[in-house]
């Protein structure tokens, strides 16, 4: 049959239509027709949805479930298309990503998804509930991420059965949003919050959990407590053959367990690429010799106690990109092989004890190095100028070392170099011109060196990207030949001690300047209007004879322009009144007017609700006006009014300063009773009322749980010590000397576990010192002064034996030199006696040890406690007289009249005055041997001042020096 044209067209249409339908069918995913989500899988997911939504609806954290992933799951659709769900070709759920889903609990239905390979529950909030059991049912799991989801308690043992695991991340966070129960005040009395808060591997420990997980390539346990006894977790991980990455940043074990040492073998795992153990300050260890085939790319050990020298073989790490060893305890020379890490982009080994010279970095050896930080070490020698020419270098920190000599000119600097910090060294002579020609420089710090000569600011005018410049504390004379100098738009400028005699006029055009420091110059007169009407946030004019106009015109634009100023320092400016313009500074949080000549009353208009730090010490103020009831000072944390002429009592408004942390009203003429509210302030850490005329101490310190330093020395206090001081569990310094306190020895002070300084001298303490119990101990005590009291009887030998504990504590503390009460703007002080003279220690080192039992104290003769042998010569020993050694009849040699008999096993003499060695310490140790006398000893002091390691051996006094010389 012959087809007509019409039939042919119809057949062609049908043919094309069939092709189109076939093409559409081919484009559909397989599971849409053949591989739909299996019914049992959908049932489990729907159960999971119901559990999550019902639990979240009752949670205080989430009152709207509309944004949850699971809330969008629709039972009428294919579950393999649901958000966060992935399936295999058979319709089994193999991946579940519910991260950032605001889940708060009840996830048991997950364990019915037996084919699951990847599970991600990161960044949810399970409100400190335990990780649920049931993971052992997910035998196909290869990737498990439960990080930062506020789980707590023991990690379940079932995880140890997931033998196919390749990656596991159980990291947690320090602070979580708590369920309603935790907000009940009674609940916090019953349970220790920190104990409940921790996610930990204890029973079983990490070694047990990971022993059989041989497929692991990635382990991340940031902030997890691994403090279980007998848990050698580093050794456990060192046997995992495929491990490429391990992260243990901020392990809680550093706070809850004894010091642990990392096995060197961990670094030698053949496939290991990344190791992160940062923020574990008690974790110790040393780096191994690295093989040439190491795969390491990132090593992060910062803020740990790793120590020792860096091996020369560190140059074998050809794949190393990031080496972060800052704030550790490494020492020795920096290996020259450092300069051959061809893949490295970042090196930060600052805050260690590295010595010697900087390795010879060249562009051929470190072509990719972008960030080099060697600051806060003991590096010496000169700076190789070629370091500025490294092609990829963006950041260079060499500050706070002992680098010296002339900084030589260098050829064209790196075109990408943005930050150069050379401050805090001993660099000398003139600043090379090439420093001011680094094209991309934005931060340049040359302060606190020994640069000399005249420097014209015109040298920096072509640096278009310069935003921060520090030339402070050199021997430079800074000036300009162009009053209208077109200078880069700076944000920070520090010209302290630059021999300026006037305010630089180019500052008029610096409309982006936020921080300006012109302190320690010879500028005189009023601050020009164009400066104090600028956009400055921080201004330091200290040590200049300057002031602000007495009555600024409040009708102009000053009010709006001055408001950005948040920090003002005018120490020792010869100011004789409070500047009126303070009334205009509504945003001020830092005010320092100390060391001036301001007289009269402190007006209440200087107080602003934004103030956090106020220092008006060392003026001639005689009273403080009551605070205005219209101004809240809830942010004020530090108030320093010491060294004035204040009389009477403190303003009553001081009791309403809820954030007050540091109050120093010492060396005034305050009298009466110390305000009782000061013993009830929960945020108060430092209370210094020394040198006043107070007669009564507050009776109740029940709420002073944060108090670290209490100094009431030199008042007229009477009566007994309040027993409520035992509530001050954080107390480190207790100075009650030079009062009229009448009491027995306060043995109850052993309830203060942090006490380091105890001064009771020159009071009326009486009676015998008889230890009330065998376990009495002040373990951290370093300074104790009981002199000039009315104690009677013999001092118990056990008390003297505690000296050994003091020495042991001193030795432990010497690893890292710290001061007691390390506050940003404040340092504790204490007065001690040395050779009959009072010495004020403004910064109290934790390794400082001193004992004074002089005047009317009976000290027993006890075998082994007398000191015998040759008195050492040189240094501080030459300053002591014959009287310093009364009662130690076994001593001989100068300055004593008794000569020594030579013996064969003599101990080498200490270095004579002027001698030194490579291991010389930071301090000249002083040692007084007096005080172990018979019967009643009057006017004899037993002093251990900067106590070295003292040992009794064969009748000799052996002196061991340690530390670093400042």
Answer yes or no: is 826 within a domain. yes
Residue 614 dihedral angles phi and psi, to the nearest 5°: -135, 125
Residues in the chain: 966
Q: Which of 540, 811, 826 is nearest to 661 (CA)?
A: 826
Q: How far apart are CA 639 and CA 655, in angstroms?
A: 13
Residue 928 dihedral angles phi and psi, to the nearest 5°: -110, 130
Q: Which of 610, 611, 638, 642 is nearest to 624 (CA)?
A: 642
Q: How far apart are CA 348 and CA 246, in angstroms?
A: 20
Q: How far apart are CA 603 and CA 93, in angstroms?
A: 72
Q: How far apart are CA 689 and CA 674, in angstroms?
A: 9
Q: C-alpha distances in angstroms, 187 versus 126, 153, 190, 850? A: 19, 17, 5, 43
Q: What is the mean pLDDT of residues 499-527?
A: 93
Residue 295 dihedral angles phi and psi, to the nearest 5°: -100, 5
Q: Residue 494 in 3-state DSSP?
A: strand
Q: How far apart are CA 524 and CA 573, in angstroms?
A: 9
Its domain, for residue 816, covers 661-901+921-960
What's the predicted TM-score (pTM) here? 0.74
Q: How far apart are CA 392 and CA 394, in angstroms?
A: 6
How much is the pLDDT for 147? 86
Q: Which of 317, 312, 308, 214 is nearest to 261 (CA)?
A: 308
Residue with tokens 């019915």: 112
How much is the pLDDT for 210? 75
Q: CATH number of the domain that 819 lies in? A: 3.80.10
Residue 952 has pLDDT above 60, yes or no: no
Answer yes or no: is 119 within a domain. no
pLDDT digits (tens, 9 = 90+) for 395-421: 999 999 999 999 999 988 999 999 999
pLDDT digits (tens, 9 = 90+) for 343-393: 999 999 999 999 999 999 998 899 999 999 999 999 999 999 999 999 999
HSE at residue 274, side-chain half, CA atoms within 13 A, is 13
- DSSP 8-state secondary structure symbol assigned to residue 604: G
Say if residues 638 and 616 touch (Cβ distance below 8 Å).
no
pLDDT digits (tens, 9 = 90+) for 204-249: 566 667 777 888 878 887 777 766 544 455 566 666 666 655 555 5
**What is the average pLDDT score of the chain?**
78
Answer yes or no: is 874 within a domain. yes
Q: How far apart are CA 432 and CA 755, in angstroms?
A: 52
Say if residues 240 and 214 touch (Cβ distance below 8 Å).
yes
117 vs 172 pLDDT, higher one: 117
Residue 482 dihedral angles phi and psi, to the nearest 5°: -120, 105
Answer yes or no: is 690 within a domain. yes
- DSSP 8-state secondary structure symbol assigned to residue 648: E
pLDDT digits (tens, 9 = 90+) for 813-835: 443 434 444 444 456 666 666 55
369 vs 19 pLDDT, higher one: 369
Rg (C-alpha) for the chain, rounded Å, is 35
Answer yes or no: is 810 within a domain. yes
Answer yes or no: is 592 within a domain. no
Say if residues 658 and 636 touch (Cβ distance below 8 Å).
no
Residue 509 has pLDDT above 60, yes or no: yes
pLDDT digits (tens, 9 = 90+) for 701-729: 877 889 999 999 999 999 999 999 998 99
Handedness of CA 697, 700, 703, 709 (dihedral sign): positive
Answer yes or no: is 633 within a domain. no
pLDDT digits (tens, 9 = 90+) for 86-120: 999 999 999 999 998 888 878 899 999 999 999 99
Residue with tokens 């300009």: 480
> 727 CB contacts (<8 Å, ≥6 apart)?
701, 702, 703, 704, 705
Cβ-based burial of 355 (10 A; exposed 0-12, middle 13-18, buried ≥19) = middle
Q: C-alpha distances in angstroms, 165 versus 203, 249, 274, 828? A: 20, 21, 18, 53
Which span out of 53-57, 220-224, 257-261, 488-492 was modeled with the highest average pLDDT?
488-492
Answer yes or no: is 66 within a domain. no
- Tell me the pLDDT band of 951, cut-offs 50, 70 and 90: very low
Q: Which of 607, 572, 611 is nearest to 593 (CA)?
A: 572
Please give the tally of structural domains in the chain.
1
Say if residues 507 and 531 touch (Cβ distance below 8 Å).
yes
The DSSP bridge pattern shows strands 830-834 and 837-841 to be antiparallel
pLDDT digits (tens, 9 = 90+) for 175-215: 565 544 444 444 333 334 444 456 666 665 666 677 778 88
The DSSP bridge pattern shows strands 404-406 and 740-741 to be unpaired
How much is the pLDDT for 251? 45
């Amino acid at each position: 049959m012959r087809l007509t044209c019409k039939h042919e067209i119809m057949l062609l249409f049908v043919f094309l239509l069939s092709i189109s339908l076939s093409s559409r069918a081919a484009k559909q995913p397989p599971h849409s027709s053949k591989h739909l989500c299996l019914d049992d899988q959908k049932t489990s997911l729907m159960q999971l949805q119901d559990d999550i939504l019902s639990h979240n609806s009752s949670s205080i954290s989430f009152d709207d479930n509309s944004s949850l992933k699971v809330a969008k799951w629709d039972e009428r659709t294919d579950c393999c298309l649901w958000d966060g769900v992935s399936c295999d070709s058979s319709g089994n759920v193999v991946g579940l990503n519910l991260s950032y889903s605001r889940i708060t609990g009840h996830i048991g239905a997950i364990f019915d998804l037996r084919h699951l390979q990847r599970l991600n529950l990161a960044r949810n909030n399970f409100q400190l509930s335990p990780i649920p059991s049931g993971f052992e049912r997910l035998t196909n799991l290869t990737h498990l991420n439960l990080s930062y989801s506020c789980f707590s308690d023991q990690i379940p043992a079932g995880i140890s059965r997931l033998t196919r695991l390749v990656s596991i991340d159980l990291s947690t966070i320090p602070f979580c949003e708590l369920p309603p129960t935790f907000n009940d005040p009674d609940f916090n009395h019953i349970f220790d919050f920190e104990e409940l808060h921790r996610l930990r591997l204890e029973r079983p420990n990490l070694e047990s959990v990971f022993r059989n997980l041989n497929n692991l390539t990635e382990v991340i346990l940031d902030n997890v407590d691994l403090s279980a006894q007998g848990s050698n977790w580093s050794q456990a991980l060192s046997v995992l053959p495929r491990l490429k990455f391990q992260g243990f940043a901020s392990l809680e074990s550093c706070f809850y367990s004894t010091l642990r040492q990392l096995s060197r073998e961990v670094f030698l795992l053949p496939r290991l690429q990344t190791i992160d153990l940062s923020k574990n300050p008690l974790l110790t260890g040393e780096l191994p010799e690295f093989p040439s085939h190491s795969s390491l790319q990132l090593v992060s050990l910062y803020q740990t106690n790793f120590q020792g020298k860096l091996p020369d073989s560190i140059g074998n790490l050809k794949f190393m990109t990031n080496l972060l060893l800052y704030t550790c305890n490494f020492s020795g020379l920096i290996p020259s092989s450092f300069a051959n890490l061809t893949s490295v982009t970042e090196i930060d080994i600052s805050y260690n004890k590295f010595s010697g010279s900087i390795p010879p970095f060249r562009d051929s050896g470190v072509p990719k190095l972008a960030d080099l930080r060697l600051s806060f070490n003991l590096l010496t020698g000169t700076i190789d100028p070629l370091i500025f020419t490294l092609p990829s270098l963006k950041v260079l920190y060499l500050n706070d070392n002992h680098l010296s000599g002339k900084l030589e000119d260098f050829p064209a600097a790196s075109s990408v170099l943005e930050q150069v910090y050379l401050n805090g060294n001993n660099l000398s002579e003139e600043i090379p011109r090439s420093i001011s020609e680094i094209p991309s420089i934005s931060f340049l710090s040359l302060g606190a060196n020994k640069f000399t000569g005249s420097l014209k600011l015109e040298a920096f005018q072509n640096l278009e990207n310069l935003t921060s410049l520090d030339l402070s504390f050199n021997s430079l004379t800074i000036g300009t030949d162009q009053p209208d100098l077109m200078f880069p738009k700076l944000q920070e400028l520090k010209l302290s001690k630059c021999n300026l005699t006037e305010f630089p006029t180019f500052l008029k055009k610096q409309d982006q300047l936020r921080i300006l420091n012109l302190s320690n110059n010879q500028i005189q007169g009023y601050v020009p209007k164009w400066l104090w009407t600028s956009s400055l946030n921080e201004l330091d004019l200290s040590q200049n004879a300057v002031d602000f106009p007495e009555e600024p015109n409040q009708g102009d634009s000053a009010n709006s322009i001055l408001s950005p100023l948040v920090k003002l320092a005018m120490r020792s400016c010869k100011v004789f009144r409070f500047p009126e313009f303070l009334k205009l500074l509504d945003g001020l949080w830092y005010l320092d007017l100390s060391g001036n000549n301001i007289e009269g009353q402190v007006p209440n208009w200087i107080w602003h609700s934004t103030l956090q730090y106020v220092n008006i010490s060392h003026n001639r103020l005689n009273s403080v006006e009551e605070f205005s009831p219209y101004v809240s000072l809830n942010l004020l944390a530090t108030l320093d009014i010491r060294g004035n002429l204040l009389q009477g009592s403190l303003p009553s408004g001081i009791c309403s300063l809820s954030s007050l942390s540091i109050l120093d009203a010492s060396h005034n003429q305050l009298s009466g009773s110390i305000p009782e509210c000061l013993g009830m302030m929960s945020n108060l850490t430092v209370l210094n009322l020394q040198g006043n005329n107070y007669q009564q101490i507050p009776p109740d310190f029940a709420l002073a749980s944060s108090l670290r330093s209490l100094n009431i020395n030199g008042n007229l206090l009477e009566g007994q010590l309040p027993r409520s001081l035992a509530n001050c569990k954080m107390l480190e310094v207790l100075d009650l000397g030079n009062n009229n306190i009448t009491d027995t020895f306060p043995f109850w002070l052993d309830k203060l576990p942090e006490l380091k300084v105890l001064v009771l001298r020159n009071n009326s303490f009486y009676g015998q010192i008889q230890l009330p119990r065998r376990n009495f101990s002040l373990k951290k005590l370093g300074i104790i002064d009981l002199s000039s009291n009315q104690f009677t009887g013999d001092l118990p030998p056990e008390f003297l034996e505690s000296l050994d504990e003091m020495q042991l504590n001193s030795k432990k503390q010497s690893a890292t030199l710290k001061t007691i009460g390390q506050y940003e703007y404040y340092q504790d002080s204490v007065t001690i006696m040395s050779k009959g003279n009072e010495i004020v220690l403004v910064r109290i080192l934790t390794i400082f040890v001193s004992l004074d039992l002089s005047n009317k104290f009976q000290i027993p003769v006890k075998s082994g406690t007398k000191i015998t042998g040759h008195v050492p010569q040189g240094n501080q020993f030459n300053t002591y007289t014959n009287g310093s050694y009364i009662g130690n009849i076994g001593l001989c040699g100068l300055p004593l009249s008794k000569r020594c008999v030579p013996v064969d096993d003599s101990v080498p003499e200490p270095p004579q005055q002027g001698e030194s060695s490579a291991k010389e310490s930071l301090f000249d140790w002083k040692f007084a041997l007096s005080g172990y006398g018979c019967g009643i000893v009057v006017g004899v002091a037993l002093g251990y001042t900067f106590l070295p390691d003292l040992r009794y051996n064969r009748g000799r006094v052996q002196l061991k020096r340690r530390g670093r010389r400042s």
